[in-house]
Structure 1
Amino acid sequence: MVELYIVRHGETDTNYTGKINGSATDLNLNETGKKQVKYLKEHLNIDDYDEVYASPLKRAQETADILNEGKHEIKTDSRLREINYGAWDGLLADDVQAKYPQCFDENNYLSANYSDFSEGAETYKSVLERLQSFIDDMSKKGDEKILVVCHGFVTRSFVQLVTEAPNIEDILEPINAGVTKIKISNSGRTYLGYYNRLENL
């Protein structure tokens, strides 16, 4: 059975200031983000893992570097990149919500219809398709523990795929440096082990 330990990157300045933080916003971790990841590292033994995969974005790469401690090759996979919010990427979420309230749910997350309004935006369906491709590839690994460093919306999308939740709005965003565990059986069936932990991994 394959075990995926999916880590959301540490905090960036766009997280802190409440900006829409997609793949077109490519920042390093801020000091808080570095501290969050270092705290996680205290509860994670990198020697327990067979492989490390990461999104190509700077915040995920830096998170992976801190956790990996130079032990494994970090394999960059573009399927793990954050959703591209198009023209809204990098804008203050409050400003966008004031203009397009119909594109936000009651938790102030963007709804799937947002891509009808933001030019150049990636659809939620597109994210699910590339992540399913990633899961399919990981299912062929045999008995491995794999660390996967990515993003908030991507983590929610992984959980939606595994649980078959009809609406991603039912899944709250994980905290920065939170870990989600997914198991893939030899038959290819997926299971959610836990969601959004910092300890007891």
Structure 2
Amino acid sequence: MSNEQSQMPKIKTVYLIRHGETDFNRQGIVQGSGVDSELNELGHAQAEAFFQKYHHINFDKVYTSALQRTHQSVKKFLEKGLPWEQHEGLNEISWGVREGRVPNDVDNEYYKILIDSWINGKVDMPSEGGESPLDVITRQKPVIDLIVSRPEEETILVAMHGRAIRIILTLLLERELQEMDTFEHANLCLYKLTYDYEKGKFFVELENDLSHLDDLIVE
């Protein structure tokens, strides 16, 4: 083993967050990858609260999806001049033709049947005009492989989306894809993970952590 290899870090720390609240979140409207919504006032306040809690962390890079609600959620970190990459592979799942509208009773029943199908193992079933969980994890995997291939980035911040986080966590933690709904999430929640290079595995330190929002006043 060369000196360079022996000096490589054995652990990578990943701060994985969901974006802050949007008006679509508040109204119960399905966004998906086809709706490039902005954070609302509360969402920006959540992003600020997260920054205040974690601005002291020396992140080597910030990774986001290609959608602006993730960009806005890490804006203060980017303004510090941190290296940043955005990847469409980290985008939210495409919910297809029902994205971007207030769901009616028929839509709600459709989503229930679809998600129940996924829980029962039919993870290759796409939404109408959209993606399946299997489609999403297939596009996520190259991004994760890229991140893991960069051991020099010892600590990174990744901003994503609710369903996409549920899906990617099954990949990182070697769980069955149909178990994705066991992972809870909320706007601007934090999953803190470590990747052990010797064991070749990810481990969870924090799950759906919202402690950074404790002092946030919600009107």
Residue 118 of structure 1 and its aligned partner are, at CA, apart by 3.5
Identity fraction in percent = 28
Q: Hey, what does 1:7 align to over in structure 2? A: 17
Structure 2 vs 1, CA of residues 73 and 31 (structure 1 numbering), >3 Å: closer, same or farther? same
Whole-Å separation in 1 of the counterparts to 2:60 and 2:158: 11
Matches within 5 A, 1:1-201: 1-45=11-55, 47-93=57-103, 95=105, 96-99=107-110, 101-105=112-116, 116=125, 118-143=127-152, 144-166=154-176, 167-187=178-198, 188-199=200-211
Residue 36 of structure 1 and its aligned partner are, at CA, apart by 1.0
Structure 2 vs 1, CA of residues 112 and 21 (structure 1 numbering), >3 Å: closer, same or farther? farther
TM-score between both structures, scaled by the size of structure 2: 0.79
Whole-Å separation in 2 of the counterparts to 1:123 and 1:92: 21
> Structure 1, residues 67-118: CA drift from partner, whole Å, max 9, x if none?
433331321111111111111212334531245642244xxx9987698574
Structure 2 vs 1, CA of residues 183 and 12 (structure 1 numbering), >3 Å: closer, same or farther? same
Whole-Å separation in 1 of the counterparts to 2:175 and 2:103: 25
Secondary structure, counterpart of 1:126 in structure 2: helix
Secondary structure, counterpart of 1:48 in structure 2: coil
Residue 173 of structure 1 and its aligned partner are, at CA, apart by 3.6
Across the aligned residues of Structure 1 and Structure 2, the Cα RMSD in angstroms comes to 2.5
| Native 8 Å contact 1:51 1:72 kept in 2 | yes
Q: Which amino acid aligns with 1:185?
A: D
Whole-Å separation in 1 of the counterparts to 2:25 and 2:39: 10
| Native 8 Å contact 2:60 2:83 kept in 1 | no
Whole-Å separation in 2 of the counterparts to 1:8 and 1:169: 15
Unmatched 5+ residue regions in structure 1? none
Residue 127 of structure 1 and its aligned partner are, at CA, apart by 1.2
Whole-Å separation in 2 of the counterparts to 1:6 and 1:69: 19
Secondary structure, counterpart of 2:54 in structure 1: coil
Structure 2 vs 1, CA of residues 146 and 111 (structure 1 numbering), >3 Å: closer, same or farther? farther
| Native 8 Å contact 1:97 1:104 kept in 2 | no
TM-score between both structures, scaled by the size of structure 1: 0.85
Q: Which amino acid aligns with 1:14?
A: F
Q: Which amino acid aligns with 1:19?
A: I
Whole-Å separation in 1 of the counterparts to 2:70 and 2:144: 18
| More displaced 10-residue stretch of structure 1: 38-47 or 28-37 | 38-47
| Native 8 Å contact 2:137 2:167 kept in 1 | yes
Whole-Å separation in 1 of the counterparts to 2:203 and 2:111: 36
Secondary structure, counterpart of 2:156 in structure 1: strand
Aligned residues: 197
Question: Radius of gyration: which is bigger?
Answer: 2
| Native 8 Å contact 2:140 2:168 kept in 1 | yes
